[in-house]
Amino acid sequence: MLGALLFIYGLLGAVALHAHMRRGPAVHAEAAGTALAQLKPLALRMPLAMLLAGFLSHLVPPEMIVGSVGAEAGLRGILAAALVGMLMPGGPMVTFPVVIVLFRNDAGAAQMVALLTSWAVLAGHRVLAFEAPLLGWRFVALRLVPSLPLPVIAGLLAQAVLDARLG
């Protein structure tokens, strides 16, 4: 956790310095304004999402998770995880805590790759909130056709990498 903090704030310092040199001191206020606007909707959602993840991790029996998306579940687990990712009801502040909870209960890494890829490329909430209003449903459909198999491909590739590393 400390390593992650150092990494983030070290990088932030470097980016801020670079921005200062290229755009002058006014850039700090602009960046802070943009950041604040992005944080505002998170302020209430994050605590609620964490609470949801906390309750769910105690409600869902670990055996069920291992059976459905554990490392032993193979391709069936990858398909199940891709489906879960597609139906994930929110942004990163929901999805990443859910994946943490699944990992704590021995979900497989390849299955979690499939889940995150599915959530990233097919995410229903983002399509509804941004993509369809801005680009239209026709574009959504044209993009979804080639994107549908990607989560399963990513999961199988991850499985192959893991197998190669173990074997």
Partner 1 sequence: METGVSEGRSGEGGGPAAARRGRFDRGILVYALLALGAGIACLALKGPAETMVAMADSLGLLVSIVPLVIGGVLMAGYAQHLMNREKTSRWLGGASSLRGLTVATVAGALTPGGPFASFALVLVLHRAGVGLPLLVTYLTSWSVLGAARVIVWEIPLLGWDFTALRLLVSLPLPFAAGLVTAAMQRKFAGYRFAEAGER
Q: How far apart are CA 120 and CA 128, in angstroms?
A: 14
53 lines the binding site for partner 1 (CB under 8 A): yes
Which range binds partner 1 by CB under 8 A, 63-71, 78-86, 138-146?
Answer: 138-146
Outline where the chain has alpha helix (H): 2-23, 26-59, 62-69, 74-87, 92-104, 109-122, 124-126, 132-135, 137-147, 150-166
134 lines the binding site for partner 1 (CB under 8 A): yes
Among 24, 25, 138, 164, indicate the residue that binds partner 1 (CB under 8 A): 138
Among 31, 80, 83, 86, indicate the residue that binds partner 1 (CB under 8 A): 31
Instruction: Select 73 or 102, whichever has its Cβ closest to partner 1.
Output: 102
Q: Nearest approach, Cβ of 46 to partner 1 (angstroms)?
A: 7
Of residues 90 through 119, those in contact with partner 1 by CB under 8 A are: 90, 92-94, 96-97, 99-100, 103, 109, 112-113, 116-117
Q: How far apart are CA 40 and CA 100, in angstroms?
A: 24
142 lines the binding site for partner 1 (CB under 8 A): yes
In Å, how far are 30, 88, 98, 105 from 70, measured between CA atoms?
45, 18, 14, 9
